[in-house]
Structure 1
Amino acid sequence: MEIHIGKRTAEIELLSKEGNNVRLTIDGKEFEVDVVMAENGACSILHNGKSYNAELIRSGNGKSYKVNTHFSSYNVDIVDTKAKYLRMKKKEEVRQDDKVVSPMPGKVVKIPVNEGDLVAAGETVLVIEAMKMQSNYKVTSDCYIKEILVNEGDSVNSDQQLILLDLNVEK
C-alpha cells in the first residue's frame, strides 16, 4: 500500500503478522517490529531494542490519521489502492503502451495469451491478484504479444514490466 507522511510517499508491504510481531517492508527495506495497540489509539512499537510510542487519531474516512509522537506530529494518508489502480488504468487507456506494467504488487494468476498471439483491443492478457482481489489487464488497441516476462504463480512488484507488446499491426 502507498502512504503519504507529510510530503513523503512510502510504499509499505505487510510480509507477515503473528500476534504482535510484524514483518513489513518500507520502500523495499525489511523491518521486524513488535506492535501493541491500545483501545485509546496509543501505539507502542519495539524495534531493535528501542521503544517508540505514538498516538493515532483517525479521521472520519478511516484513511487519514494524525500521528503524534513525543516530539512531533505527522499527517498520514493511506492511499486507496483500488482508486490508485483505477487512476493508473484510466491513464493507460488513453494510449496503448508497448508494455503491460503492474501498478501494484501482487501474484500472477492467469496468462491467457502466448508469445506471438495477435490480440484485439479489450482482450485480457494477464490476471493478477492483489489484496484478495483479481484484476484483468487488457490491451486498449490491437497488438501482438512480443514477450511474456512472467509466469503464472509469480509474485510481481509495483511498476514491474509483465508483457512486451508489438503495436505494429496492419489494419
Structure 2
Amino acid sequence: MKKLLVTVNGIRFEVEVEVIEDDELTYQPSQGIIPVGAKPSEHLSSSHLNTLMRTPISRQTKTLTIDQKKLSSPINGKVIEIPFSIGQKVKENDVLFVLEAMKMKTNISSPVSAVIKSIEVKVGDNIEAGQLLMTFE
C-alpha cells in the first residue's frame, strides 16, 4: 500500500493505493476501500489519481481526531508569515503559515475547518520537518 494525498473536486483525501492487477487499482479513504476500474487500454498510475472523478464522499460534521487537532510542518524552513491568531476560526485550505525554504515560499494550509487553540512558533523561527506548528480545538 502507498499513501497519497488526493484532491477531488476541491476535497482533499488521504488515501492508500494498492495495485491489485495490472489494470485495476483500489483506493482506501477513511470510509473504506473503493475499487477504481480502468479500461483495458488504460493504465492508472498515482499521477492519474488527482484527475479521478468519483462521487464525493458526503461532507459530514465530524469530531476531529487527535491527528487532525495538530498541524506539523512538512518541510524545514523559516516562518515568514502567520496570518491567523489564537481563537480565530479557520476553514479547510486557509493558508495558516508561509515558510521560506531555499529562497522559495511555501504555504501551509489548514487540513480542517476549526478554531485555533495554540500557535507553537513565531515569525522568524527556523523550523524542522515534523515540528508542531499549531493545534486546533
Scaled by the length of structure 1, the TM-score of the pair is: 0.42
Which among 82, 87, 103 is matched to residue 132 of structure 1? 103
Compute the RMSD of aligned alpha carbons.
2.2
| Larger-Rg structure | 1
Equivalent residues of 2:68, 2:112 under 8 A apart: no
Q: Which runs of 5+ in 2 are unaligned?
A: 7-11, 15-66
Partners of 1:125 and 1:98 lie apart in 2 by 14
Q: Which residue type is aligned with residue 136 of structure 1?
A: N
Q: Give the equivalent residue in structure 1 for 2:83.
A: 112
Q: Give the equivalent residue in structure 2 for 1:94.
A: 13
SS of 1:94's equivalent in the other structure is strand
Q: Does 1:141 align with 2:112?
A: yes
- Aligned residue pair count: 78
1:22-70 Cα distance to aligned partner (Å, 9 max, x none): xxxxxxxxxxxxxxxxxxxxxxxxxxxxxxxxxxxxxxxxxxxxxxxxx
**Pairs within 5 Å for 1:47-126:** 90=5, 93-94=12-13, 97-126=68-97
Q: Which residue type is aligned with residue 94 of structure 1?
A: F
* Percent of aligned positions that are identical: 32
**Pairs within 5 Å for 1:23-34:** none
Deviating more after overlay: 152-161 vs 137-146: 137-146
Structure with more contact order per residue of length (Cα contacts < 8 Å, sep ≥ 6): 2
**Pairs within 5 Å for 1:3-42:** none
Q: Which residue type is aligned with residue 106 of structure 2?
A: S
